[in-house]
Structure 1
């Protein structure tokens, strides 16, 4: 079984694009049934204050000191490649928020075998649906949609469950040389930084498979 680890932020449009392309590559890979994808936490803005969600463009203008047109132009560069993968982002309705609790829910989901489903739903919620991912009731509702039990989800959010796992993922990403997200590691031997093309991911999958194959014995 090949393991592909993905460091991703649930509020990152390039991460969602990378997920789509990786999914397509695995679907085309000759040994796709033998690939396990493990989702890791990576906050792009870990110091953004909690419970302080703001409209995305407004928050970025304050952070960057740019005009609305400048911020919109920068952010919307991802729209064209995203559209080719069937993604239609709604940045006008998106909010910037701290994603720590959303990552804790993703870690909880991963423990239950629902990591991929959690990342898909959380990314879609923020980037397409305009959901605020540091709101407890929103996270509970999304968690139930993913397949997690409501009461256990509330218990997770009430404390710091899975917080250490989120922080450990961030430390491990830095140790592996990740400077941002998305960051993909194939069997701990090959790494890909950024939302590369489907063909690039497919090539790396094949190379990782060849490296893991036992040597051929000849008579």
Structure 2
């Protein structure tokens, strides 16, 4: 369905007259999604004055929908059971991910992380999108979950985080308690299935090209340059 990344790459710069749309499927509880977010940002920054203007929209994807809101145990406990791996292997995996995250400027703290169901966090992200603060909330939720040990599955905690990025706390609570955005979350997940997305992060550029995983910064720079060129030609 999607074009291969390598064949998109061309070492040219372009001036784009309208934003490039980037749709991102991710889950707040996905460590690679936060890393991928940073790598995309780094890819844009690396282009300097040649960086195209982009419009980013996050879409919901639950990696472990059967997770209870109040999971009892550590991240190691969850992954060992969920993936059927010995704890020593899970410890190695988490150490590797934390090392990659550190290179991206992220300080993951698995000792304080509170594993939880992320459905309500996704509902809140849809609420934030409606109020123009989805990107700010996405960053806040990732940081709260991976570095601060906040419980992003509970409504009270989510309302506090929403208020921190400028959202109305009472309106956020009403949106979560009413489950007003639950259908929007499920629509995102269904669309991911239509696209054949089985894991996240997954980036879709201009509705045409898909990039799977937390690719290196330079890959995002190259893809952005290529897509910008095609986009500029289309609107010329």
Q: TM-score range by the shorter chain?
A: over 0.9
Output the TM-score relative to the length of structure 1: 0.92
2:146 equivalent to 1:127 = yes
Distance 1:138 1:99 in 2: 12
Alignment of 1:46-57 (within 5 A): 46-52=65-71, 54-57=73-76
Q: 1:44: how far off?
A: 0.8
**SS where residue 96 of structure 1 aligns?**
coil
Aligned with residue 169 of structure 1, among 188, 209, 219:
188
Corresponding residue of 1:109: 128
Distance 2:42 2:203 in 1: 15
Q: 1:205: how far off?
A: 0.7
Distance 1:59 1:68 in 2: 10
Distance 2:143 2:130 in 1: 21
Q: Are residues 61 and 209 of structure 1, via their aligned partners in 2, closer, same or farther at CA, if it must alter by over 3 Å?
A: same
Q: Which of structures 1 and 2 has the larger relative contact order (alpha carbons within 8 angstroms, sep 6+)?
A: 2
Aligned with residue 113 of structure 2, among 88, 94, 101:
94
2:227 equivalent to 1:214 = no
2:161 equivalent to 1:150 = no
Q: 1:118: how far off?
A: 0.9
Q: Are residues 215 and 159 of structure 1, via their aligned partners in 2, closer, same or farther at CA, if it must alter by over 3 Å?
A: closer
Output the TM-score relative to the length of structure 2: 0.86
- Range 114-123 or range 60-69, more displaced: 60-69
Contact kept in structure 2, 1:79 and 1:88, CA below 8 Å: yes
Corresponding residue of 1:204: 223
Corresponding residue of 2:32: 14
**SS where residue 57 of structure 2 aligns?**
strand
Q: 1:16: how far off?
A: 0.3
Q: 1:188: how far off?
A: 0.8
Aligned with residue 45 of structure 2, among 11, 23, 27:
27
Contact kept in structure 1, 2:52 and 2:228, CA below 8 Å: no
**SS where residue 40 of structure 1 aligns?**
strand
Distance 1:165 1:66 in 2: 34
Distance 1:184 1:76 in 2: 25
Aligned with residue 43 of structure 1, among 51, 54, 62:
62
Corresponding residue of 2:9: none
Distance 2:114 2:235 in 1: 54
Q: Are residues 216 and 170 of structure 1, via their aligned partners in 2, closer, same or farther at CA, if it must alter by over 3 Å?
A: closer
RMSD between superposed Cα atoms in Å: 1.8
Alignment of 1:56-95 (within 5 A): 56-95=75-114
Q: 1:48: how far off?
A: 1.7
Structure 1 runs not aligned, ≥5 long? none
Distance 1:216 1:117 in 2: 29
Distance 1:216 1:165 in 2: 31
**SS where residue 233 of structure 2 aligns?**
coil
Q: Are residues 21 and 215 of structure 1, via their aligned partners in 2, closer, same or farther at CA, if it must alter by over 3 Å?
A: closer
